[in-house]
Structure formats: C-alpha cells, structure tokens
Amino acid sequence: MASAKLFRMDGTEAGSVALNATVFDVEMNPVLVHEVVLALQASKRQGNADTKTRKDVSGGGIKPYRQKGTGNARHGSSRESQMRGGGTVWGPHPRSYRQDVPIAFRRKALCCALSDRVRGEALCVLENFACDAPKTKPMASMLDKLSAAGRRTLIIMADADKNAVLSTRNIPKVSVRTASDVNALDVMTAARVMVAQDALAKLEERLS
C-alpha cells in the first residue's frame, strides 16, 4: 500500500495518508513517459515561424542582366534564392506541432510520474490547504518550512483557486495545477509535488 506524509500548512507533520495503489504505486515505464512528455512539450510550441519564398519577396520581375557576354552565371530573376534579397528555400512556415496521444497513454504516464515521486519521497499531502487571500508571504513561509523553497515545486489543488495562483506567481519555480488538468510534464519537471488533501479523491477518480 502506497502512502505519503501528511503536513499542515505550518509545516508540522500530521501523520500519513494511504494512497490508491492503481495511481500511486505503478511500475515506471520510462519509454511511455518520455513519449508523452515529448508530445506535451511539442504541443506547447507556437509554430508561427515564417519565411518568405521566391514568390513573396519584392522586386525581380525582369531578368537582372543579359544571358551571355557578361562572364557571370545565368540568372532569370533577382528573387532567386542564391541572389541577395532573394527568397528562402525550405524555410519554416506556420504549422502545428501537436502530437495526438491516446488518453490512456497520458493517464498511464501521469500515474508513472506520480508513483515515481512517491517512491522518491518527493510527494506529500497538505491538510486543509486553503488561501483566504492573495498573499505571497504565507505561501513562501509554508514552502520554506516544507523544504521546498528554491526548488521547482508543483501544487495540485482540487479546483481552480485564484488566490492560490496569485499567491504563488511571484515565487520562482512554483506552479499550481488542478487535479483535472495536471499532466506528466508538470510532475516530471517538479522536484517536489504537494497535493491538497481534497484533491486526492479527484485525482484518484480521474486516473483509476
């Protein structure tokens, strides 16, 4: 049975929490996790790089000079790629880098990532985690007491919380996700994962 330490917001330990083995005690599959993480990274690319081809650059409607007698190579237009100011050949154009990955693969990769953090004692559960106001100081104090200050930290909440997002946005290397939108990339890039106690049920319901 997998378990994780339970902490209060003041940094004191409040025992441990039993975790669902089908979600938090899964054998690591590095090949699957690698493929899913690459797909998630690719989906974040904008793909808006663009270059002008021969038909897009200005000028070059006539032959630059006569065919013979100049001692130069033969050219038919100043818009050719080898000419100064000419078009680009095989350059990038707007495209989508999105890779379609089956939902089952994405869920399995997330389970592998969470299980890896549990085995490495890098995942803990927060008891009664809540942000009553958008204040950075209490959040930074909690992270410091939980030895997460300065480390890339992921906080998983049950639902979207504007106060939590505003409280962490000025703290470097800290990100907030909900149980419904967290993915394997978020977990694998975090050295420390903190799950709100009320988010456990939603996370286990989504992945089991």
**What distances in angstroms separate CA 21 from CA 49, 61, 105, 199, one per listed residue?**
45, 70, 18, 16
The model scores a pTM over 0.75: yes
Local mean pLDDT, 10-residue blocks, the chain (208 residues): 86 88 93 96 94 89 90 91 91 94 95 94 90 89 82 92 91 93 95 92 90
pLDDT at 161: 87
pLDDT at 182: 96
Ranges in the chain annotated CATH 3.40.1370.10 = 3-45+99-207
Distance CA(118)–CA(38), nearest Å, equals 22
- One-letter-per-residue 3-state SS of the chain: CCEEEEECCCCCEEEEEECCHHHHCCCCCHHHHHHHHHHHHHHCCCCCCCCCCCCCCCCCCCCCCCCCCCCCCCCCCCCCCCCCCCCCCCCCCCCCCCCCCCHHHHHHHHHHHHHHHHHCCCEEEECCCCCCCCCHHHHHHHHHHCCCCCCCEEEEECCCCHHHHHHHCCCCCEEEEECCCCCHHHHHCCCEEEEEHHHHHHHHHHHC
The 10s digit of each residue's pLDDT in 153-195 is 999 999 988 999 999 999 999 999 999 999 999 999 999 999 9
Alpha carbon of residue 185 to chain centroid = 5
157: number of Cβ within 10 Å:
23
Pairing label, strands 192-196, 3-7: unpaired
pLDDT at 52: 94
Radius of gyration of the chain (CA): 26
Q: Which residue has the tokens 């050949």?
A: 89
Whether domain 3-45+99-207 has CATH 3.40.1370.10: the reply is yes
Q: Which residue has the tokens 């992270």?
A: 143
pLDDT at 130: 84
